[in-house]
Amino acid sequence: MNCLACRRMLLVSPREQSSEQLAHIAECEACARLLDELGDVDRQIERATLVPVPDGLAHRILLARRRKPLWGYSMAAAVALVTGISLMLSGIFDRTLLLTPIQAVGPGHPAIAAISLVVDDRAELAQSGDTAEMDHRLKELGLKLKAGNVHAYYGGKCHLSGGECGLIVLDAPDARANVVLVPGYPIPEHVLVADRRMIALASPAKSGAYIVVADSPKIARRMQKLFTRG
């Protein structure tokens, strides 16, 4: 290697040297000096970029992910509130379900994501029919399904807000619903949301949650009642 080739490579990346380059530098004082100088320049660049990072940046990022934007809160709160009141008036929901305070959820909530999943990926949610996998998914959440006259089949795995979930399709003669089984996402209480003309009812399970997505609150509740803790 000659000086020109060595210097060109040093200017590209003074931190990485090939064995050939190292051998040349060991014998060439000028190239060794250039390496030192470029190392100094890089250290100065590094120091120049060391601006103070705001305190608690990482925590704010994580908090922002858990929280929802204000518009999301207000919109979802309104949706949840309106839904709750209408349900109360129509007497569709159990008293116990309605006694829990209505909470606001934002677009990042799995219940909203479940609606998007069902609406946007309806065509892709193919019927896998793997009963053993469905049973496994239910067991994982500590749930049992007493389908009765409702035909239940496993729709395969899906992804929701960064996690792998299972999908069950419930088919009754007069109604249909999709149920997303979400392991490892504990929720303290039922959450009911309305979005994109669909209803999602998220309910706590032993080790996660399950979300019934249906056309109406009545169907969602009816399907949700098919699940028991097992």
Partner 1 sequence: MFSGKRAEFEALVHSYSAELYRYAYSLSRDRVCAEDLVQETFARAWSSWTRLRDTRAAKKWLYTILRNEHARLYERKRLDLLEDQDLDALEERGVTTVFERVEVREALERLPAGYREPLLLQVLGGFSCDEIAKIMQLTPGATMTRLSRARLALRRASGRSGGKEETA
Question: Burial of 98 by CB count in 10 Å (0-12 exposed, 13-18 middle, 19+ buried)?
Answer: middle
Which candidate, 85, 91, 92, 81, places its Cα nearest to that of 222? 92
Q: Which of 18, 22, 23, 60: binder of partner 1 (CB under 8 A)?
A: 60
Beta strand pairing call for 151-160 and 163-172: antiparallel
Which candidate, 141, 134, 183, places its Cα nearest to that of 162? 183
**Contacting partner 1 within 16-35 (CB under 8 A):** 16, 34
Tell me how far, at minimum, the Cβ of 155 lies from partner 1, in Å: 17
| CA 16/CA 18 separation, integer angstroms | 7
Instruction: Provide the Cα torsion 114, 117, 123, 126; round to 10°.
Output: -60
Q: Which stretch binds partner 1 (CB under 8 A): 5-13, 86-94, 168-176, 196-204?
A: 5-13
Helix (H, G, I), strand (E, B) or coil at 55: coil
88 binds partner 1 (CB under 8 A): no
Q: Which of 27, 29, 46, 174: binder of partner 1 (CB under 8 A)?
A: 46
7 binds partner 1 (CB under 8 A): yes
57 binds partner 1 (CB under 8 A): yes
Question: Which residues, listed in sequence order, are joined to residue 202 by a DSSP beta bridge?
Answer: 191, 211
168 binds partner 1 (CB under 8 A): no
Tell me how far, at minimum, the Cβ of 51 lies from partner 1, in Å: 5
65 binds partner 1 (CB under 8 A): yes
Question: Which residues, listed in sequence order, are joined to residue 213 by a DSSP beta bridge?
Answer: 178, 200
Which candidate, 212, 204, 226, 221, places its Cα nearest to that of 141? 204
Q: Tokens representing 211?
A: 């979300």
54 binds partner 1 (CB under 8 A): yes
42 binds partner 1 (CB under 8 A): yes
Of 23 and 41, nearer to partner 1 (C-beta) is: 41
58 binds partner 1 (CB under 8 A): yes
217 binds partner 1 (CB under 8 A): no
Q: Residues in the site for partner 1, rule: CB under 8 A?
A: 4, 7-8, 11-14, 16, 34, 37-38, 40-42, 44-46, 48-51, 53-54, 57-58, 60-62, 64-65, 159, 161-164, 182-185, 208
